[in-house]
Amino acid sequence: MTTVVEMPMEPQSVDEDVPIELHQSDTGADRAFRIVLVVSSAIVLAILVAVVVFLAVDGWPALRASGIKFFTGATWAPDLGRFGMLPLLVGSIAIAIVALVIALPISLATALMINEYLPPRLRPILTGIIDLLATVPSIVYGFWGLALISGLQAPWAKWLVDNFSFVPFFRTPQPGTYVNSIFACGLVCAVTIIPIITSVSRDVMSQAPRDVCEAAMGLGGTRWGMVTDVIMPFSRNGILSAALLGLGRGLGETMIVVLMLSTSNKLTLAIMGPQGLGSIAKQITQDFPTATTIDKSGLVLLGLILFVSTLVVNAIARMVVNRVGRTA
Amino acid sequence: MSRLTPLTKAPVAEGSPAGGGAPGPTIDPATDRPNRRKRVTTDHLVESIGSALASLAIVWLVFTVSGVSAPFGLAVAWCGVFFAVYAVVCWRAHGVLLMKDRLGTVAIWLGGLIAMVPLAGVIGYVIVKGASVALADFPHFFTSDMSQLTASAPTTAVGAGAAIVGTIEQVGIAAVLSVPLGILTATYLADSRSLFSKIVGYVVDAMTGAPAIIAGLFIYLFWVAPRQHSGKSGLAAGMALAVMMLPVVTRAAQEVVQIVPGSLREAALALGAPQWRVLLRIVLPTARAGLMTAVILGVARIAGETAPVLFNAGGNETYNWNPFSGQQDNLPFRIYQLIFQPGVNVIKDAWGVSFVLVLLILILFVMARLVGSSRPGRRLIPRFSRSQPE
């Protein structure tokens, strides 16, 4: 046989198993895209830095003029050259604390109600209502507080002052009047911080291990027992951080305080009436448009202090909430 | 005595109940039914309603005898006395454990209901006070401006039109500035694990809780003050609002982007798509509904902010359609101005403007909800095409 068996032409390296080099597609477009991402993040960072720098630079003259007295002085009288921020800072903190004391139990009850007690069909509706509570503008809350709540709470404030004035808080700086007080402001501010506390604590509570909850119920425990013995211990840190976030929000609350509070920037413990403690946000809002140069500088410095204190409170809150996953 | 008598103890023959003294575990098919736990039993209802009525009677009696007339105080006292009465009733009937459960349940429902009261209160109050002003002579209040405002001007002479225009334009500027930046930052935060991204994440969190007045102060120092009188404009107000909106959008976008299934992205990347295409063609379309909800909610939040625009918008009693030059009005700003202005009807005008603002925000909120309930990847607005035949 002389037939030559012709071998078919071998296709070029189809069967050869040559590994392809894998590398991130580093085309020009992709590199540009990554740069865009980093730049946009850098802009966000730059805004925060710029806020701090601008406030610090413009606040410096007031700090140089008054020195350490700025932090320890109890008189805020820029026209006399006296900057003492104590009554303002203490007032801001007092409003935030009153708001927190009122809002915390209500928010926790709401969070538990939505998570554990409501039929699942109703949950989105209630969540929506709480979201809506956060969306109503604070100037509307302030206007409502000024027109309605300040008057409604006055008899209660009077009752507290009449019967419990041995507690230094339950007194009024201006005897006989109980409206437009730190307490009234805190009452309305509580409404604005209920949504944040509720939503953060709901998130944390829903992370409580479901199997342990069901085991508690399965062993014959009551639902309240499940709440106090499983959910609460698990979400203790989260609730603390929710409360801190609420406190930070209350510290920075502006329009409610501007509209409702009547103050003479006096350093006092009495919070049930007008003409007592002041508020940083109120002072800035009211005086800034008509202020002179050095006065403006003092107000800017106040703003910086308010900003830094809310940043610190929020940072602590975030640190606490980030520990939740690890402890439980 | 006990129904839990062990089986071994009394193997009593059926039909002789008085057999061995102790009743055996006789299984009577007529009475042996599974014990289903009812949510609310008749006992439960009787106890709670009875306690409520009893405590109301007590409080009513005390208030009437002492001659005090305070409906709100009566409600609070009723709650307090109800707790005490109900506690005693449950304790006597069921013991301490169930008492705690019942009281806890009541407390939680009560707290939840209290949280609803202010919302209904504030919206109801604004409608009662403002609707008659804003809706009288219907479109007039929405279209005319404040130029006719004097100390004795009737409410029908003025309107919120200029403020509506200003609010919409400033919020639009804020959205244009903050939404792209927020989404890009969120994409970076969702993908990167570097130290830089951690710092940026902290900064975003920190800015979320920053006081509104700080944003206003910053833009005033940064933009308005160097330009003296020409600095105050819709643009400056929009920038201040953007500072407020940026962290909200970034956070929300980050959450939405993280929900997009990793397999989708990986599939696209494995097919050789460059990253920017993955973002534009895969991630953003999938997350569209969530992103839209976040943006609209963010817009609704900042539309009501007063403090950021206070030093920057300037206010204007007449129409100014150009946000880039000249002072502009704004709804919350106008409310603030009216509250402090003397005049017979000015407070009524302020309620009218508040009504317009709340209406605007409610519309935005409902829009956000509707968009959010559509499924990811679907069209936001369903196409009006004929339904496919089966």
Ordered alpha helix ranges (H), chain A: 28-66, 69-72, 86-112, 123-135, 138-144, 150-164, 182-205, 210-218, 223-226, 232-234, 236-252, 255-260, 280-287, 293-322, 324-327
The total domain count for chain A is 1
pLDDT at B350: 93
Q: Tell me which chain A residue has its CA closest to the CA of residue B273.
A: A25
Residue B149: which of B160, B140, B138 has the closest Cα? B160
Q: Is residue A266 part of a domain?
A: yes
- Please give the single-letter amino acid code of residue A311: L
Which of the four pLDDT bands, split at 50, 70 and 90, describes residue B177? Answer: very high
Angle between helices A123-135 and A182-205 (to 10 degrees): 140
Q: Is residue A9 part of a domain?
A: no
pLDDT at A291 over 60: yes
Greatest distance between any 2 Cα atoms in chain A: 129
B184/A136 Cβ within 8 A: no
pLDDT at B368: 87
Contact A280, A88 (CB under 8 A): yes
- To 10 degrees, the CA torsion angle through A151, A154, A155, A156? 120
Q: Tell me which chain B residue has its CA closest to the CA of residue A58.
A: B221
Contact B306, B245 (CB under 8 A): no
Picking from A135, A202, A217, A260 by the largest number of B CB atoms within 10 A of its own CB, the best residue to mutate is A135
Q: Is residue A164 part of a domain?
A: yes
Q: Which pLDDT tens digit goes with each residue over A6-35?
A: 655 555 555 667 777 766 656 778 888 889
Q: Which pLDDT tens digit goes with each residue over B139-158?
A: 888 888 888 888 777 888 88
Q: Is residue A254 part of a domain?
A: yes
pLDDT at B15: 45
Q: Is residue A37 part of a domain?
A: no
Picking from A26, A30, A37 by the largest number of B CB atoms within 10 A of its own CB, the best residue to mutate is A37
pLDDT at B303 over 60: yes
Residue A101 CB contacts under 8 Å (≥ 6 apart), including other chains:
A186
Residue B72 CB contacts under 8 Å (≥ 6 apart), including other chains:
A152
B217/A288 Cβ within 8 A: yes
Q: How far is A9 from chain B (nearest CA, A)?
A: 32
pLDDT at B5: 40
Give chain B positions within 8 Å (CB) of A112.
Answer: 108
Picking from B197, B198, B306, B371 by the largest number of A CB atoms within 10 A of its own CB, the best residue to mutate is B306
Cα(A304)–Cα(A298) distance, integer angstroms: 10
A146/B276 Cβ within 8 A: no
pLDDT at A6: 60
pLDDT at B35: 64
Picking from A31, A136, A239 by the largest number of B CB atoms within 10 A of its own CB, the best residue to mutate is A136
Cα(B108)–Cα(B114) distance, integer angstroms: 10
Q: Which pLDDT tens digit goes with each residue over B61-113?
A: 988 888 777 777 788 888 889 988 999 988 888 888 888 998 999 999 999 99
- Residues in B 116-175 with any Cβ partner in A closer than 8 A: 116, 118-119, 121-123, 125-126, 129
Domain of A150, CATH number, reads: 1.10.3720.10
Give chain A positions within 8 Å (CB) of B79.
Answer: none
Q: Is residue A28 part of a domain?
A: no
Burial of A9 (0-12, 13-18, 19+ CB in 10 A): exposed
Q: In this prediction, does ipTM exceed 0.90?
A: no
**Mean pLDDT over residues B331-348, rounded?**
89
**Mean pLDDT over residues A128-138, rounded?**
90
Q: How far apart are the first and last CA of chain A?
A: 85
Q: Which pLDDT tens digit goes with each residue over A267-281?
A: 888 888 888 898 999
Give yes or no for B204 touching A (CB within 8 A): yes
Cα(B81)–Cα(B64) distance, integer angstroms: 16
Contact A199, A129 (CB under 8 A): no
Q: CA B257 → CA A42, A138, A318, B8, B282, distances in Å?
A: 20, 30, 21, 64, 11
CB pairs under 8 A between A and B: 250
Give chain B positions within 8 Å (CB) of A222.
Answer: 97-98, 100-101
A307/B210 Cβ within 8 A: yes
Half-sphere exposure of A294 (CA within 13 A, CB side): 14
Q: Which pLDDT tens digit goes with each residue over B184-193?
A: 999 899 888 8
A303/B214 Cβ within 8 A: yes
- Please give the single-letter amino acid code of residue B180: P
Q: Is residue A113 part of a domain?
A: yes
- Of the candidates B105, B112, B123, the beta carbon closest to that of A110 is on B112
**Mean pLDDT over residues A198-204, rounded?**
91
- Of the candidates B107, B274, B303, the beta carbon closest to that of A27 is on B274
B119/A136 Cβ within 8 A: yes
What ranges do the domains of chain B cover? Answer: 42-124, 155-373
Superfamily, domain B155-373: MetI-like (1.10.3720.10)
pLDDT at B176 over 90: yes
- Of the candidates A38, A137, A223, the beta carbon closest to that of B332 is on A137
Q: Which pLDDT tens digit goes with each residue over A140-164?
A: 999 999 999 998 888 888 888 888 8
In terms of residue numbers, what domain contains A206?
A: 64-327
Q: Which pLDDT tens digit goes with each residue over B213-263?
A: 999 999 999 999 888 777 889 999 999 999 999 999 999 888 888 888 889
Q: Which pLDDT tens digit goes with each residue over B33-68?
A: 766 665 667 888 888 889 989 999 998 898 888 877
Q: Is residue A59 part of a domain?
A: no
pLDDT at A292: 81
- Residues in B 232-261 with any Cβ partner in A closer than 8 A: 243, 246, 250
B304/A137 Cβ within 8 A: yes
Contact A123, A130 (CB under 8 A): no
- Of the candidates A116, A137, A252, the beta carbon closest to that of B210 is on A252
